[in-house]
């Protein structure tokens, strides 16, 4: 049996604590976005003191003393920078005089379009993946592994937690539908800038394209804008397609990719989860 030195076990103890409390990183990140901290720092020119932040965000008097702790925690894992205050500026052990700045990660969370070149904010993406549905589903992992549910074994912990898959939940909860679709759209915008900028030649000779599981059409709109000769359509479930106002640029088709896909020159797929979840169905 492997033996470990005291140093290794001490280091492992630290790593175990880091892993144990890892979920707090996602929750603190979500909190930073919901409080508007990246935008507040950006609007101050990229640097903000604690009083600046307290001015900009809506925090009641009774909670103000806790903001430096949140900022320190976010700083510890690279969301913000914090310039240490001079010793005399510390109030009650907290960083009253600290100056907080954006890192490349929090820069991606700033709403102002153009702040990151052509890249929009990824805050909607973060919020789409830290929902109560996702967190609760993750907490059902041990229950999912240990329950012997026969044919239902292929179902994911998400269904164990919510009695429906993600698409079913989005169908019954319009707010979740909106939050998830906005998240996918923001992430796709960034990915499409890269795809079109670097691999645009894959669209040479294509005259029609269907983005299968294309959500609210971020990818299809980006392709249609960059390559106006390509007739772009989006195939997605009714709850998604019905939430998109017609834009005259992309055609939205309500349907089930597992049943049929409209005839087209090219199929565009950015639906990793669904293909993985239905791999047996698709690949036989
Ligand atoms: C992970 S999201 C990706 C959305 C979009 N492709 C993007 O990357 O921004 C998956 C999308 O597939 C859609 N979807 C799931 N099952 C589907 C099905 N059976 N037929 C059509 N669309 C489906 C969902 O509604 C959702 O919009």
Given a contact cutoff of 8 angstroms between Cβ atoms, the answer to whether 159 and 136 are in contact is no
- Answer yes or no: is pLDDT of 227 > 90: yes
Domain-wise residue ranges, the chain: 22-111, 127-283
pLDDT reading at 24 higher than 50: yes
* Contact indicator for 191, 118 with CB cutoff of 8 Å: no
Q: What angle do CA 215, 265, 279 make, to 5 degrees?
A: 55
- Phi, psi (rounded to 5 degrees) for 233: -130, 160
- Asked if 268 and 226 count as a contact pair (C-beta separation under 8 A), the reply is no
Q: What is the pLDDT of residue 201?
A: 93
DSSP 117-136: TTB---HHHHHHHSSHHHHH
pLDDT at 283: 36
Query: Does the model's ipTM exceed the 0.85 cut?
Result: yes
pLDDT band at 273 (very low <50, low <70, confident <90, very high): low
Instruction: Name the token pair of 128.
Output: 């789409």
Nearest-atom index, ligand 1, CA of 188? 9
Which residues touch 103 (CB under 8 Å, ≥6 apart)? 78, 79, 80, 81
Q: Give the pLDDT mean for 214-228.
A: 95
Name which of 37, 113, 112 is nearest 75 in CA terms.
37
pLDDT value of residue 101: 96
Give first-to-last CA distance, the chain, whole Å: 42
CA 168 to ligand 1 centroid distance, Å: 12
Q: Tell me the pLDDT tens digit for each residue of 240-271.
A: 999 999 889 999 999 999 999 999 999 999 87
pLDDT at 160 over 90: no
Taking residues 123-137, what's their average pLDDT? 97
Across the chain, the runs of DSSP E, i.e. the strands, are: 47-49, 80-83, 99-102, 208-212, 231-236, 251-254, 266-269
Question: Of ligand 1's atoms, which has the minimum distance to the CA of residue 256?
Answer: 20
Token pair belonging to 54:
């307290």
Confirm or reject: Cβ of 237 under 6 Å from ligand 1.
yes
pLDDT digits (tens, 9 = 90+) for 31-85: 999 999 999 999 999 999 999 999 999 999 999 999 999 999 999 999 999 987 6
Q: What is the dihedral of CA 252, 253, 254, 260, to 10 degrees?
A: -150
CATH topology of domain 22-111: Arc Repressor Mutant, subunit A (1.10.10)
**Closest CA relative to residue 35, chosen from 60, 59, 52:** 59
Q: d(Cα 242, Cα 216) in Å, to the nearest integer?
A: 9
220 lines ligand 1 (CB under 6 A): no
Residue 281: predicted pLDDT: 43
User: How is residue 21 written in tokens?
Assistant: 């409390």
Mutate to test the pocket of ligand 1, among 215, 234, 273, 275 (most ligand atoms within 8 A of CB): 215
**Residue 124, ligand 1, Cβ within 6 A:** no
Q: Which residue has the higher pLDDT, 168 or 276?
A: 168
State the DSSP code for 112: S
Determine if ligand 1 sits within 6 Å of the CB of residue 227. no
**CATH fold for the domain made of 127-283:** Rossmann fold (3.40.50)
DSSP single-letter state for residue 243: T
Joined tokens for residue 32:
């930073």
For the CA of 214, the closest atom of ligand 1 is 6
Q: Based on DSSP, count helices (H) and strands (E) in the chain, helices before strands.
A: 16, 7
Six-digit token pair at 100? 């907080």
pTM of structure: 0.87
What does the pLDDT read at residue 91? Answer: 53
The per-residue pLDDT for range 81-129, each reduced to its tens digit, is: 998 765 555 555 556 678 999 999 999 999 976 655 656 899 999 999 9
pLDDT higher than threshold 70 for residue 193: yes
Task: For ligand 1, say whether the CB of 271 is within 6 Å of any of its atoms.
Answer: yes
Q: For residue 284, what pLDDT is reported?
A: 30
Which sign does the torsion angle of CA 216, 217, 218, 219 carry? positive
Q: What is the pLDDT of residue 262?
A: 95
């Amino acid at each position: 049996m492997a033996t470990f030195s005291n140093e290794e076990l001490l280091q492992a103890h630290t790593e175990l604590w880091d892993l144990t409390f890892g979920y707090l990183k996602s929750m603190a990140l979500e909190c930073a976005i919901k409080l508007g901290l990246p935008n507040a720092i950006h609007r101050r020119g990229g640097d903000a003191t604690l009083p600046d932040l307290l001015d900009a965000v809506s925090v009641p008097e009774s909670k103000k003393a806790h903001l430096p702790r949140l900022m320190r925690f976010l700083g510890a894992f690279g969301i913000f920078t914090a310039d240490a205050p001079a010793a005399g500026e510390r109030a009650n052990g907290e960083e009253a005089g600290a100056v907080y700045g954006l890192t490349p990660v929090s820069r991606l969370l700033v709403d102002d379009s153009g702040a990151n070149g052509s890249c929009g904010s990824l805050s909607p993406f973060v919020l789409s993946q830290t929902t109560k549905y996702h967190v609760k589903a993750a907490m059902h992992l041990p229950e999912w592994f240990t329950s012997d549910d026969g044919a239902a074994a292929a179902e994911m912990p998400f269904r164990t937690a919510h009695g429906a898959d993600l698409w079913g939940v989005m169908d019954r909860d319009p707010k979740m539908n909106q939050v998830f679709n906005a998240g996918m759209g923001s992430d796709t915008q960034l990915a499409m800038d890269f795809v079109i900028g670097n691999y645009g030649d894959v669209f040479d000779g294509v005259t029609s394209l269907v983005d299968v599981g294309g959500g609210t059409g971020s990818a299809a709109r980006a392709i249609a804008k960059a390559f106006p000769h390509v007739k772009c359509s989006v195939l997605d479930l009714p709850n998604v397609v019905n939430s998109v106002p017609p834009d005259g640029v992309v055609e939205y088709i309500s349907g089930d990719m597992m049943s049929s896909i409209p005839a087209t020159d090219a199929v565009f797929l950015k639906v990793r989860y669904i293909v993985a979840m239905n791999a047996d169905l698709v690949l036989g």
